[in-house]
Each structure stands twice: as structure tokens, then as C-alpha cells.
Chains A and B, each alone.
Chain A
Amino acid sequence: MRYDLVIIGAGPAGMAAAINAHKLGLKFKILDEQSQPGGQIYRNIENNINLGETCNQLKDILGTDYYAGSGLYNDFKELPDVYISGAVVWQVEAGRLYYSKAGKGYSIQAEHVLIANGALERPFPILGWTLPGVMTAGSAQILLKNPALAVEDAVFAGSGPLFYLIISQYLKAGIKVKAILDTTPTINYFNALKELFSALKGTGYLLKGLKLIREIKASDTLFIKGVNMLEAHCGTEDQLTAVSYTVGNKTSSIETRQLFLHQGIVPNVNLAMASNCQHFWSEKQLCWQPQLDKWGQSSQQHISITGDGSAILGAIGSRLQGAIAVQNIAVVLNKISASQRDINTHKLFVQLKREQDFRPFLDTLYRPLDSLRKPVHKETIVCRCEEVKVADVEQAISNGCMGPNQLKSFTRAGMGSCQGRQCGLTISELTASLTKQSVADTGYYRIRAPIKPVTLAELASLHQPNDVIDSS
């Protein structure tokens, strides 16, 4: 059976794409590596809607933006027989893709693939960030949504819209937060003023954000601004015991056994890169993004990319993009005409522009500090999986290493299970600085399939009788 379309990812972009694909009568499936739809932002929304009486209290904690996903989810739930959960896609070829589910390998044929696999957190390499007790702020939010776990007396360090959101969710749930260490560079506030025009395009967001921050400040939680250095310490234990931070030239320390870090999110590019989609370095968002036209069509004819996996735009923007992408795919598949697509998407583009216009303000305001993206302390681990430090990177470069791939060969950075997701950006930026090249010229790891680990049994199960190993 050859499908018109396979959608990868069931966050806002994926769900919106699926709803549209159904409306357009496409033959499609949507594959999700999670056990339930929602992606990251609407995680566990199915259960959290169904929680009955406690729903209101949870609603207060998680906020209206979270529950705004319930409409989308309810529409998605109605779609007949398209959703495959627990499906980990690890390779996309022209006309076919491969995934694992419950220990078995599967292949599925599709004319077109829409990658909607979202974003992940920007690496936050500080000294001690691999200690037990140090986690991302996103993980705090995930645990809050499912299964409603939280930890008292944590320190939150970082910057960005999600950073303030999770802190406010913790405070609303009555959880004590030990301290907030805000790493938003002071200069960003001045630079962001220049983006006033952009800011005013998203007045709703702006007011929401200001309200959030006001509530946090009013909560009497220790709130330190202008933090420019962080270190996680373990003393004589094998886990986090304290966090030290610097404001200006003054260093202080806070005792804690839990640290949540966050400095923004970036597109999850592994699948798109392994599928040979062209990417470019965005200096504005400090990340790699796929080359796309306005519809989400990538440099590979059979692949479109949408949502936060293409560029960071947030939940509303992702929903709009998901819908737009599918309208265009329908044209590519000769299901509707280009002019019909243009009619269908006209309003969506208007709404999308509003979301996009607000981004420059956010990108400027929350642009992370250089020293927190390119660690200065030589003992800082850059590649978590293989424990490769800044010192190792510097030594390799002084021995002639000129790019991330040679660096990978010589230091093992990027060879671990995460395949560069936690170190790739740091390595690209650090290498660029040290070799005095632009990040664009420096490049990124060569990402290859399988983009998630696959067992030999799962791989072997895809073997066809006439597959040959030696054909030359």
C-alpha cells in the first residue's frame, strides 16, 4: 500500500497537518514516537483533559495556552485510523520510510513525507552539567504534565519564554523554587527595544509575558538578573549539591540538589539532515534550519518540513504551518489545484505572518550569552555522551582539525547515542570561533541513518530475499 503522505510527529504541526490531510482526502498515516499525541507542548493532553474535577486546578497550573491545545487534540482524535503511536522513524528514503515499533522494524511507502518532529532544547554546557540533579527546564515541564511530579527547592537557571513559563507553573502549583538565575544578557533589553515594531505585532504575547514575569517577581522567590556564568558543583558527593553564579564580577553560591537549565529551543534536525535536506545557519536564531520555500517544501522533492522542526515559531505558528504544508503537498500530489491551495491558505498566511513578525523581538531579547553557548572553562564537557571537553576540542584544532567531522573522528565528539543532539551546536560554534571561520562555513556533523538506535533484529526483519551485500 503506497500512501500519499506520511506525517512524522504529532505535536501541533503534525496534528494540524493530519486534520487538513483528512479534509483533503489524502491517503495518509501519522507516526508519533510518543505513546500519545501532543508533542512536547501538549504532552499528555488526553489524560489531563480527562482528569475530571482536578482539571481546573491543573488548568490553573499548566495555563490556558496548554489547554488551548485541547480543541486541536479533539479534532485530531476524530480522525479514523491514521495515528500510529510508539513509532520511531529512523530513515527516510525517496518513496519509503522505516520505523520501529515495539521491537519490530517496519517500512511504509509514501509519495511524500512531512517532517513535523519539533524542537529540542539548546545545549547548555556549563561546568558540572552532567551531574545527577541537573536537568533541562523542559524536563521539569514534562514531569509536571505527566505524571504531575515536581521537586521542591530547585534552582532554575537560564532565559527564554519557556523558562518563565515553567517557573510560573511551578509557583502556581505551590512548589517552592529556591532561586531563579536569569541569564538574559542585559544588553539584550536595549537591543530588543530596536525591535519595538516587531514586539507590537504580538501585543497579546507581550502582555502575557510581562504578566508572567510580574507574577514571578511578586512571588518573593529569589530572582537574580544578569547572570553571566554558572557552575554546578558536587562537593564530595556524586550528585549536584550547589550552583555558583556570577553577576558582573561577583560570584555567589546556592545550595541545591536540583538545577533546571534552559536557554531556548532549536529545531531537531537529525532526520532532515540524514535525509539529505539542505540546511543553513541562522544567525538570528543561532541554529541550523532546513532550506524551505514558504510552503515547507525542502530541497528533497519528497520531503516537506514544518513546525518548530523548521524554525522556532511556537505552537500557534506550528499549527498554521502544518496546515499550509499539507495544502501544498496536495498540489504536488495533484489532488487540488494551486489556486485552490492559495484560497485555502490565504487566511492562514495572514495569521502566520503575525506569529512570524513577533519572532525578531523574542530572538533578540532571549539571544543566549556567547559564553553559555561556547564554554570558556576548558574542563567543561561539550559532548556528554563521550565526555569530550573543551580542552580536547582545542587540542584537536591545534593539531589541524578544521571541521566538526574531522573533530568527531579525532575526539569521538558526536559519536554517542544522541548523535550530536546535545553537542552539535556547541561544537559548530566552538570550532568556528577557534578556526576563525563563520559557523556557516564550519558546518555541522554529517548526520546519517539510523537517526535513532535500532536493534539488529529490527533491522534484520526488513531484509528482503533479493537484497545483496556484494554487488560489485
Chain B
Amino acid sequence: MSFSNRECRIAIIGGGMLGSAIGYGLSRSGADIIMLDQGDTNLRAARGNFGLLWVQGKGAEFPDYAHWTLKSCQLWPAFAAELLSLTGIDVQLCQQGGIHYCLDEGEQQSYNLELQQQVAISNGLFDFQSLNNAQLRKLEPNIGRQVPGGVYSPNDGHVNPLYLLKAMQSAFIKLGGNYLPNHDVTNIKSCLDGYQISSSQGDIFCEKIILAAGLNNTALAKMIGLEQPLHPQRGQLLITERLPKLLNYPSIYLRQTYEGGIQIGDSSESVGLDDSNTISVMAALAKRAIKLLPALEHRSIVRGWGALRVLSPDGYPIYQHQQANLKKSAPQAYALSCHSAVTLAATHALELAPMIHNGQFSKPMQSFDISRLSTHPSVSV
């Protein structure tokens, strides 16, 4: 066997939101790491994020996920400060809370029940307040009078997702990580003491491999005997021109960015690997946005886009760890995927990466293993 080109201790496949967080986290401990990324025009969930740090509505049925999400939000201020001091990049973190708008009475009732359950499993760390229209408009004076109500949670927040990616990649490089764009991985071969990666720009050998390639993880995982049953779900977004400040809090439907444009979402479609944006969804998004925020009516959309969420069968993260044998120095492989890598960026960098560095997942992390899906209807693990 010949190992041409490069060798390293750790290789991360995927330079998106998850891969970059892990990469940054690992580089903090001075590891010898290569991060492989595709080219400029490949499908990337990490350029289509909404930017929410969202806690409400998460994990009522999956306590470890609720805790994991809460933990991340707690770690976010320190994480953002770290990135700022390392790179000078301000990711525009704002954690003043967030609002979910309920578009009908039925939704408000069922959502309230769900959140009560979330409170029950969160050991007092999660809180929310149910609001009628008048109360909503106390928090958000520009919300339309036709909006039945909503929920405010102090745990939520938002961040600039593009600057987050930029900061994590920057920090990774600054701490000695090797970022290799335009490297399409075509094959991975398990060897006695590591993995040989074939890419469009040559071969790389590594002792430890981390698959964080979003939807590409499904194919890559199979190459080394791991399972990542993932499917794409398209979300379309709109962004307005710069506007004066109209919103205090983010929501999943509307988020005013630091620069002033208002991002409008949220949609979900199953269309395979198609990230185009369509009039029918854009028109529906616009209609809903006007109902929520009437002041938007005569303001302009400057661009629309679509992105593909990386979804597991039950919608929760899959963190899979495989060790070739019981020897401490055995080659280790990880396959990681989730759809909320912005919210989880802090905990990915500051908790999951150290676990990977030490070669051991904590007990709560084990509940994210693929084996939980063995009873899931759509998975044949």
C-alpha cells in the first residue's frame, strides 16, 4: 500500500456548520487536522441557514436532545467571545429570547401542551410565556392585529450564520488546522491503522476520520461500515432590502438581521436534491409575512433561495462512533449529522469535539447513536 500526498492524525470530511465546529473544537487541543470541503457551488446547507439559536419546541419527546440544546445555548456567549478574540469576527450573537407565532387557536393550544412537557423535562432551565395578540404587540409593536397569539421564550436567540461559519473556519486555520477546499471525496478505505481517503485532488491518510458532510454522509458512511440514513428537506427563504428596525425578537418566520434586512422563512418540501426557489412557495411566504408584519407590504425582496436540511428519520441528530477494535490506539471513525448545527455549534465545538479528542462519547451522547432508530419505521439498520 502506498500512502501518497498527505497524512494526518484527524481528517474531517465536510466544512459546513457541523464540520467547522468540530474542526475548531479539535484544533483548540492542538490536534493535527485536515478539513476537506467541496467546491464553491456544491449543495451546502451551511449557506442556507436561518440563523436561529432555538430552544423552544425542541426535545419534549427526547430529553437528552432538550438538554443538549439548552446546554449549547448556555455555552454560546463564551463561544462567541472566544471566536471574537481569536479572529476579530463578531458573529452578532443576540440571546434576548424568541417568539413563535401561532397562526391559529388550535396550534396555540397544542403547542402550549408540548412546551409544558418541555418545561417538565428541563429541570427548571427552560421557560416560556404564552401570549395573546395584545401581549404580543407589547413585545413587538409592529406585529399584525390578525395574528392570534404566540409564545415567547427567553432561552432563544439568533446569530449571523454566515459569519459564524467564517469565524469557525478562520479560527480553525489560525489554530493550525488545514482547510482544503475543492476536495471531493470519492472513496474511503478502512485500513489496519487508519483510513485512506481518495479525493479529486489526491489521497489523504488519517488515523481518525470524522464524517460531517451533510447529505453526502449517507454514501460516505457506507464506505466504512457506518449508517447515516439521511434525507433532504428543502426550505425556502426570502431576504428583504435593508429596513429600519421593526423587530425585537427572532422567530422561525421572520428574523431581522443585524444589517437590517428581514429574513422570511420557513417552508418544508420533499423534492430530492433540488435547492431551487419557486414562486408558489415564495408567494405563500410573502403572504404570511405580510400578515405577521404588515409594514412589510410595500417593501422589497432582494433575493430568494432554497437550501436542503439534513434530516434523519426522526429529525434528531445522529452521532455515531465506531472503534475498529478494543485497543486504545485503534482507528476511530465518527459520523455526525443534524439539522440544527447553528444552535448546536457551541456544544459541538466545546463539548462534542473534546469527546472525540478523548475517543469517548459521554452517556447522553450515546442516545444519539444510530441504534435508537432500529425501531423507527423508515429505517432498516
Contact A462 B181 (CB under 8 A): no
Question: B241 — which chain A residues lie within 8 A by C-beta?
Answer: 417, 453
Cβ B297 vs Cβ A457 within 8 A = yes
Number of A-B contacts (CB under 8 A): 136
Given A417-B302, A462-B279, A472-B233: A456 and B166 interface contact (C-beta under 8 Å): no
Structural contact, A456 and B297, CB atoms closer than 8 A? yes
Give A419 to B290 CA distance when docked, in angstroms. Answer: 24
B296 and A402 within 8 A (CB): no
Q: Mark A376-416, 1 if CB is under 8 A from B, else 0.
A: 00000000000000000000100110111110011010011
Chain B 135-174 interface mask (CB, 8 Å, partner A; 1/0): 0000000000000000000000000001101100110010
Q: Are B269 and A405 in contact (CB under 8 A)?
A: no
- CB neighbours of B297 from chain A (8 A): 455-457
Complexed CA–CA distance, A202 and B297 (Å): 53
Interface residues of A in 454-472 (CB under 8 A from B): 454-457, 459-464, 467-472
Pick from A27-35, A117-125, A248-256, A443-451 the stretch touching chain B.
A443-451
- Complex: A412 Cα to B283 Cα, angstroms: 26
B4 in contact (CB, < 8 A) = no
B40–A469 touching, CB < 8 Å: no
Does any Cβ of A come within 8 Å of B84's Cβ? no
A434 to chain B, nearest CB (A): 13
**In the bound complex, what is the Cα–Cα distance between A469 and B268 (angstroms)?**
6
| Those of B263-290 within 8 Å (CB) of chain A | 266-270, 276-290
> Which residues of B227-242 have CB atoms within 8 Å of chain A's CB atoms?
233-234, 238, 240-241
In the complex, A406 Cα to B281 Cα: how many Å?
Answer: 26
| Interface set, chain B 55-84, CB cutoff 8 A to A | none
A405 and B40 form a contact (CB under 8 A): yes
Once bound together, how far apart are the Cα atoms of A358 and B218, in whole Å?
54
In the complex, chain B residues whose CB is within 8 Å of the CB of A471: 268-270
Nearest-CB residue, chain B, relative to A97:
B279
B278 nearest CB neighbor, chain A only: A93
Q: Are B296 and A409 in contact (CB under 8 A)?
A: no
Contact at A450–B284, with CB atoms within 8 Å?
no
Nearest residue, chain A, Cβ from B300: A453
Q: Does chain A have a CB within 8 A of B304?
A: yes
**Which B residues are in CB contact (< 8 Å) with A70?**
none
Q: Is the CB of B47 within 8 A of A409?
A: yes
Check if B41 sits within 8 Å of A405, measured CB to CB: yes
Alpha-carbon distance A472/B259, docked complex (angstroms): 32
- B-side interface size class: 35 or more
Is B219 interfacial (CB 8 A cutoff)?
no
Residue in contact with B280 in the complex, picked from A399, A446, A448, A464, CB distance below 8 Å:
A464
Contact check, B301 vs A455: say whether CB atoms are below 8 A apart.
yes
Contact B40 A459, beta carbon cutoff 8 Å? no
Minimum CB–CB distance for A238 against chain B, Å: 21
Chain A residues with Cβ under 8 A from B165's Cβ?
409-410
Does B182 sit within 8 A of A, measured CB to CB? yes
Q: How far in angstroms is the closest Cβ of chain B from A470?
A: 5
- Cβ contact within 8 Å between A402 and B181: yes
B179 interfacial by beta-carbon distance below 8 Å = yes
Cβ B301 vs Cβ A459 within 8 A: yes
- Name the interface residues of B324-346: CB closer than 8 Å to any CB of A: none
Please determine whether A467 and B281 come into contact, CB atoms closer than 8 angstroms: yes
Report the bound CA distance from A472 to B231 in whole Å. Answer: 11
Interface contact B284-A469, CB-CB below 8 Å: yes
Please measure, in the bound complex, the distance between the C-alpha atom of A402 and the C-alpha atom of B290, giving whole angstroms: 38
Residue B39 lies at the interface, judged by CB distance under 8 Å to chain A: yes
A457/B182 in contact, CB under 8 A = no
A107 CB within 8 Å of chain B: yes
- Cα A464 to Cα B280 in complex, Å, equals 7
Q: Is the CB of A403 within 8 A of B41?
A: yes
- Asked whether, in the complex, the Cβ of B290 is within 8 Å of the Cβ of A457, the reply is yes
- In the bound complex, residues from chain B placing their C-beta under 8 Å from that of A93 are 278-279
Chain B residues lying within 8 Å of A396, measured Cβ to Cβ, are 166
Residue of chain B at shortest CB distance from A414: B303
Name A472's contact: one of B163, B268, B290, B299 (CB within 8 Å).
Answer: B268
Given contacts A453-B241, A470-B267, contact A402 B40 (CB under 8 A): yes
B304's partner among A399, A400, A449 (CB-CB below 8 A) is A449
Contact of B40 among A406, A419, A460, A470 (CB under 8 A): A406
CB distance from A224 to the nearest CB of B (A): 40
The reply on A98 being an interface residue by CB < 8 A is: yes
* A400 and B41 contact, CB distance less than 8 A: no
Q: Of residues 69 to 106 in B, which have CB atoms within 8 Å of A's CB atoms?
A: none
The docked-state distance in angstroms from the alpha carbon of A456 to that of B290 is 7
Cβ of B111 under 8 Å from chain A: no
Most chain B C-beta atoms within 10 Å of own C-beta, residue among A276, A416, A446, A467: A467
Indicate if the CB atoms of B283 and A399 lie closer than 8 Å.
Answer: no
A456–B288 Cα distance when bound, in Å, is 10
- Give bound CA distance, A285 to B84, whole Å: 43
Contact check, A450 vs B301: say whether CB atoms are below 8 A apart. Answer: yes
Any chain B CB within 8 A of the CB of A91? yes
Query: How distant is the Cα of A446 from the Cα of B39 in the complex, in angstroms?
Result: 13
Instruction: Give the CA-CA distance A103 to B302 in the complex, in Å.
Output: 15
Question: Given known contacts A107-B279, A450-B304, is B162 in contact with A467 (CB within 8 Å)?
Answer: no
Q: Known interface pairs A399-B166, A455-B298, A457-B298. Does A463 touch B284 (Cβ–Cβ under 8 Å)? A: yes
Knowing A446-B41, A471-B269, the reply to whether A405 touches B47 (Cβ < 8 A) is yes
| CA gap between A461 and B284 in the complex, in Å | 9
- Known contacts A409-B165, A471-B269: A402-B39 contact under CB 8 Å: yes
- Residue of A442, A457, A464 with highest tally of chain B CB at under 10 A: A457
The answer, yes or no, to whether B316 is at the interface (CB within 8 Å) is: no
B280/A419 in contact, CB under 8 A? no
A456 to B296, CA, bound (A): 7
B368 at the interface (CB under 8 A from A): no
Closest beta carbon of chain A to B361's beta carbon, Å: 29
When distances are taken between beta carbons in the complex, the residues of chain A under 8 Å from B303 are 415, 419, 448, 450
Q: B267 to A469, Cβ gap below 8 A?
A: yes
CB contacts under 8 Å to A, within B155-205, are: 162-163, 165-166, 169-170, 173, 179, 181-182
Note all chain A residues with C-beta closer than 8 A to B169: 399-400
A437 vs chain B, min Cβ distance (A) = 9
Given A93-B279, A455-B298, A457-B297, residue A403 in contact with residue B270 (CB < 8 A): no
Q: Is A469 within 8 A of B281, CB to CB? A: yes
A472 CA to B290 CA, complexed, in Å: 24
- 8 Å CB contact of A453 from B39, B182, B283, B301: B301
Cα(A442)–Cα(B182), bound, Å? 11
Per the bound structure, the CA–CA distance linking A93 and B283 in Å amounts to 14
Contact call B287/A454, Cβ cutoff below 8 A: no
Q: Nearest residue in B to A459 (C-beta to C-beta)? A: B286
> Known contacts A467-B283, A469-B281, A472-B233: does B181 contact A400 (CB below 8 Å)?
yes
- Cβ contacts under 8 Å, A107 to chain B: 279
A sample of 18 more A-B contacts (CB under 8 A), given A406-B47, A453-B300, A457-B290, is A399-B173, A400-B169, A405-B40, A406-B181, A415-B302, A416-B302, A448-B304, A448-B305, A449-B282, A450-B301, A456-B240, A456-B297, A456-B298, A457-B298, A459-B286, A461-B283, A468-B281, A469-B267
13 A–B pairs (Cβ distance < 8 Å), ordered by A:
A399-B170, A405-B47, A457-B290, A459-B286, A460-B283, A464-B280, A467-B284, A469-B267, A470-B267, A470-B268, A472-B233, A472-B269, A472-B270
Using a CB–CB cutoff of 8 Å, the interface residues on chain A facing chain B are: 91, 93, 96, 98, 103, 107, 276, 396, 399-400, 402-406, 409-410, 412, 415-417, 419, 442-443, 446, 448-450, 453-457, 459-464, 467-472
Closest 6 CB pairs of A and B: A403-B40, A453-B300, A459-B286, A402-B181, A463-B283, A472-B270
